[in-house]
Amino acid sequence: MAADSQPPVQLDRDAFKQVLRLRALRLPKQHCQQYMKILKGFTLDRPRLRCIVPDGKSSDSRLLLLSESVASPGLSELREDLRSRIQQDKVEVTTYEQPMDYGCWPADYVLKRLLPEGSEVPSSFETIGHIAHLNLRDELLPYKHVIGQVILDKNPNLRTVINKVGTIENEYRVFQMEVVAGDDDLETEVKQHTARFRLNFSQVYWNSRLEREHKRLVDSFRPGQTVIDVMAGIGPFAVPAGQRGCQVYANDLNPRSHHYLQENIKLNKVAKNVQAFQMDGREFIRLACNAPAVGSQAEHAAARDASNASEPCSTSCQSAFPPGFRFDHAIMNLPASAVEFLDAFNGAFQHERWKGPLPMVHCYTFAKADETNAGVQSRVEAFLGGSFEASEPGVQPSQSTFSIHMVRDVAPNKRMLCVSFRLPATVAYGSGGLRPTADRAPNGGGSANGDDENIAKRPRTE
């Protein structure tokens, strides 16, 4: 029988009503806090339930409820020193009946009772504003609506529960989803450290699990540095970098990501520091590396003055890069295929136009668990079209060592990495048209995007 043909499970909240028979200590009310400390770990510890309750026999005393694990009349589950203290103080041990209803039980307990025996209960989910994002296994799909409802009931800050449907199969890295519980409202706002981000989760890519990585990389930038964000998405790197005092040129091909990138630039008041672009990532890299020569400042100023200063800049023309433009860092946050864009740096620089050190590149990629750092470096060099060890005659070799930062495990045999390196001079000032020798799949090749195993088209967004 197919998974979706299984009979639906109904959520009967009344079925969770029951009474817990608990051991309790009858104490003078002024001694309750003292005994709570003495019996730490042995008192009732359940959400929404108090372990100190009124005593129906006297207004001067209270009942201290003990954990369900302390069940014997003689409190034999307690340590001997604790039992001796209770006897020494002549504390009365009694029984208390605690009413329990649906609201008292945690989500995992409720789902274990509702789902078939042996089913793996969903233990975690991503939260995006008021949205809970599930990725249910096939065997749980018949129960998706009841799972969603329980998650809503137990998380009052949530209003919508969605489940991912299939894999990412579009150019813009947006997966199909369905609302399984709550409001059909995927427009939300999230906060990461000092920045706020608005987005429609059905239209753009967002991963809340990358918050620490966003901060780590941005914290490595110095105020006043210039950053290009090639696959910027809605701005998780660009906006905080702008808040840090960097000049950021942020690009994304997805029209909806570009829309929310502009909105988030405005929302966080970083329009003076962050400009938004919408073009192919490879084209964006080429334009940034080969900005107009110094001498056309007046023309550039006129182009900039023509834009509305109160609105974030949105452009796809080279005039947005000032004459003599150079950048210190390039972010390429597209783990499934960002390495395939590295060839855009090959030969993109000209000695007479580029002054100062070559930029640092921070490229995100996926790797199998058994792939060594040397293997990752070889793969990057193949797509880059040059070696980190080579040196052009008369040009100093790269001063930066090749470094790999482990971001997180995305699957049992799959890691997300951030590869950072200073662009080698032999690559930057190379032949320009050089193509890497690494095998390329028809759609860009590489490993899967996000946590998915297959992508029909390689996206060019965050």
Cα separation, 42 vs 99, in Å, equals: 20
pLDDT at position 311: 47
pLDDT at position 441: 35
The top-scoring range by mean pLDDT among 71-75, 327-331, 429-433 is 327-331
pLDDT confidence of 401, banded at 50, 70, 90?
Answer: low
Domains defined for the chain, CATH in brackets: 19-100 (3.30.70), 107-185 (3.30.300.110), 191-428 (3.40.50.150)
pLDDT confidence of 431, banded at 50, 70, 90?
Answer: low
Cα separation, 79 vs 87, in Å, equals: 13
DSSP code of residue 430:
S
Q: pTM of this prediction?
A: 0.78
The answer to which of 177-181, 429-433, 453-457 has the lowest mean pLDDT is 453-457
SS3 annotation, 165-194: ECCCCCCCCCCEEEEEEECCCCEEEEEECC
Q: Has 280 been labeled as part of a binding site? A: yes
Q: Has 252 been labeled as part of a binding site? A: yes
Q: Has 163 been labeled as part of a binding site? A: no
Q: Has 454 been labeled as part of a binding site? A: no
Tokens of 282: 């490879």
Average pLDDT, integer, range 80-96:
94
8 Å CB contact between 237 and 229: yes
Q: Which has more confidence, 355 or 78?
A: 78
pLDDT at position 10: 84
pLDDT at position 291: 80
The enclosing H or E element of 419 equals strand 414-422
- Sign for the pseudo-dihedral over CA of 371, 406, 252, 223: negative
Supply the mean pLDDT for the chain.
Answer: 84
- Above 50 in pLDDT, residue 30? yes
pLDDT at position 150: 96
Average pLDDT, integer, range 337-354:
92
The answer to which of 226-240, 323-337, 424-438 has the lowest mean pLDDT is 424-438
Cα separation, 51 vs 23, in Å, equals: 11
pLDDT at position 164: 86
| Residue carrying structure tokens 């060890």 | 389
8 Å CB contact between 438 and 447: no
**Residue whose C-alpha is closest to residue 166's, from 192, 191, 141, 203:** 141
Provide, rounded to the nearest whole percent, the portion of the chain with pLDDT above 70: 81
- Above 80 in pLDDT, residue 462? no
pLDDT confidence of 195, banded at 50, 70, 90?
Answer: very high
8 Å CB contact between 432 and 285: no
Q: Has 166 been labeled as part of a binding site? A: no
How far are the Cα atoms of 60, 71, 80, 87, 263 from residue 83, in angstroms, in the given order? 23, 14, 5, 6, 63
The enclosing H or E element of 250 equals strand 247-251
8 Å CB contact between 391 and 426: yes
**pLDDT tens digits along 32-67:** 999 999 999 999 998 889 999 999 899 999 999 999
* Helix, strand, or coil (residue 253): coil
* Helix, strand, or coil (residue 23): strand
Residues 6+ apart with CB under 8 A from 220: none
10 Å CB burial of residue 50 (0-12, 13-18, 19+) is: exposed
